[in-house]
Structure 1
Amino acid sequence: MTVQADAAGWSYWPAPAKLNLFLQITGRRADGYHLLQTVFRLLDWGDRIGLRLREDGQIHRDGPSVAGVAEADDLVVRAAIALRNVSNCAKGVDIRVEKRIPAGGGFGGGSSDAATVLVALNALWGTGLDEDALAAIGMGLGADVPVFVRGRSAWAEGVGELLTPIELPEAWYLLVDPGVHVPTAELFRSQHLTRDAKPVKIADFASGTVLGNAFEPVLRRQEPAIEATFQALSGIGRARLTGSGSGCFVEFATRVAAEQALAELPEQLRAWVAAGVDRSPLLDALETTGIV
């Protein structure tokens, strides 16, 4: 993917989605944050972020809000402000978000959008921060932001910030959005959530013995639309939940198999196919600019 500014000064950058191939909660820190283990799998599909540089130091979101989020609260705006503050940059930017990733689905849309702003603006503004510095800024915005900043599928621990890059077999995913959104804080309060799972190793995941998601039984019990989606997917493969959202997926070895399964689903389900990648398309786009 080549990134070049158009006649109006906009350059466009990928913000890939992710899947949690498993997710378990192993405890809680003294500050209340839950400890987890998961595998983040990046996808070749996601949102697109438009950036247009300004010389007046102003940071603005261009276009309508996403899911009614005020401009000052939008993660992409907060990411740009955080980068400007850390780097003491005097430049500004207009930010445009082209959404494809459904909000609340657990596909990481908001976090990925913020990470793309951090990574791309760091290059465009010439602020010169390294990956660790950008990931630290990202952690202040959300626990999932660092994996998108680093741009590699990864084994994750802690609250999601302790990342070990991992190479995964080629796979295609049938993704389904049931269209419901349950706040994460509400899920963490559920009496049905397992918070003390025994820690596992990467080898346990690689062997296929660990594939569950701690939030699945909670959401299936609480949301009929999610339970109905799992039932619809049960005839084509092993359905799984991603993150703490409502998004569901089934893994396939080939694109053909995933698309055949897609064709078998009821038409009313919002579903599509995406490929897993070990390296973010954002990093590929960054390399084409010639400014890194």
Structure 2
Amino acid sequence: MMKYSEPAPAKLNLALHVRGKLPDGRHSLETIFAFCIDGDRLEAEKADELNLSISGPFAEGLSTTDNLVLDAAKALKQAAGVDAGASLYLTKKLPVASGIGGGSADAAAALRLLTGLWGIDPRHAVDVAPAIGSDVPACLLSLSAKGTEAGDKLELVQDPSISGTPALLVNPLVPLSTGAVFAAWDGIDRGPLGDWRRGRNDLEAAALTLAPDIGHVLDWLGTQPGAGFIRMSGSGATCFALFDSEAERDAAAATCPSNWWHLATFLR
């Protein structure tokens, strides 16, 4: 039986400004999304029912019944009105609850994958994505974009300096709850987002109070030759550096502390 395959690229927030609250209670965000060439991977083949299996270095503890991949599949199935199933196989390479959109990227991969497997209109995937999670629309696109409202209203970013940039992602292997980090945000609107290079991550201070190891990662990245841009992604705890060259990135990766997770990659 033919098996379909789809990447679930890691997401980075090059800048993340929290501007307050929306009428529906969600946080109002301005962010620049960028995506890596590496991440998780989802495969699927036709089946009578929907089912999910998970393998990989970060599979332990993940539910195969309560999972955003299945949420996405069920939402797409209902929206498209199809009577079909799929056996889904997730290879989990990214740390869980790490600020790089792992679950959202997996859900978005499911939407893309099942659109092809079931032969349905891609507009159904676009329609259901926001209800699955605020990062899912951006992950569905998987291209550099500016996100506003809750991060789910998107506008493509035409910045040739992003694509192909060597990047090093580092996580101290401390899981962080997105809800807890937002709850710890000080509520101060520090202004709109312009050029992402001069932006900030407004959740960094809150994340540092919950996971001080993030500070050690940021400090370490700051000592690496060629690391020209350093930031925490999303609600943490993953931090990243954009490098001037692939060689400098690889040199930094080779000296990354062994008790931290790291990924040497490029931006899409």
With normalisation by structure 2, the TM-score equals: 0.90
Structure 2 CA distance for partners of 1:265 and 1:67, relative to 1, 3 Å: closer
The percentage of aligned residue pairs carrying the same residue is 30
* Residues 67 and 103, structure 1, Cα contact 8 Å, conserved in 2: no
Q: Give the one of 9, 12, 23 matched to 1:16.
A: 9
- The answer to whether residue 171 in structure 2 is matched with residue 177 in structure 1 is yes
Residue number in structure 2 paired with 1:247? 238
- The answer to whether residue 72 in structure 2 is matched with residue 84 in structure 1 is no
Residue number in structure 2 paired with 1:158? 149
Residue number in structure 1 paired with 2:248? 257
Q: Distance between the aligned counterparts of 2:238 and 2:213, measured in 1?
A: 11
Runs of at least 4 residues of structure 1 off by over 6 A? none
The 5-angstrom pairing of residues 1-292 of structure 1 reads 8-54=1-47, 56=48, 58-63=49-54, 66=59, 68-130=61-123, 133-168=124-159, 169=161, 170-190=164-184, 192-201=185-194, 204-205=195-196, 208-210=197-199, 212-236=200-224, 237=227, 238-277=229-268
Question: What's the RMSD between the two structures over aligned residues?
Answer: 1.9
Aligned residue for 2:82, secondary structure, equals coil
The Cα of 1:265 is off from its aligned counterpart by 3.0
* Residues 27 and 197, structure 1, Cα contact 8 Å, conserved in 2: no
CA deviation profile, 1:124-155 (whole Å, cap 9, x unmatched): 1011232xx42221111000000121232101
Aligned residue for 1:239, secondary structure, equals strand
The Cα of 1:186 is off from its aligned counterpart by 1.2
Aligned residue for 1:185, secondary structure, equals helix
* Residues 136 and 146, structure 1, Cα contact 8 Å, conserved in 2: no
Q: Distance between the aligned counterparts of 1:151 and 1:184, measured in 2?
A: 21
With normalisation by structure 1, the TM-score equals: 0.83
Letter in 2 for 1:100: K
Q: Distance between the aligned counterparts of 1:261 and 1:69, measured in 2?
A: 31
With 41-50 and 143-152 compared, the bigger mean Cα shift is at 143-152
Please list every run of 5 or more consecutive structure 2 residues that lacks an aligned counterpart in the other structure: none
* Residues 193 and 214, structure 1, Cα contact 8 Å, conserved in 2: no
The Cα of 1:227 is off from its aligned counterpart by 1.9
The Cα of 1:115 is off from its aligned counterpart by 0.7
Residue number in structure 2 paired with 1:290? none
Residue number in structure 2 paired with 1:286? none
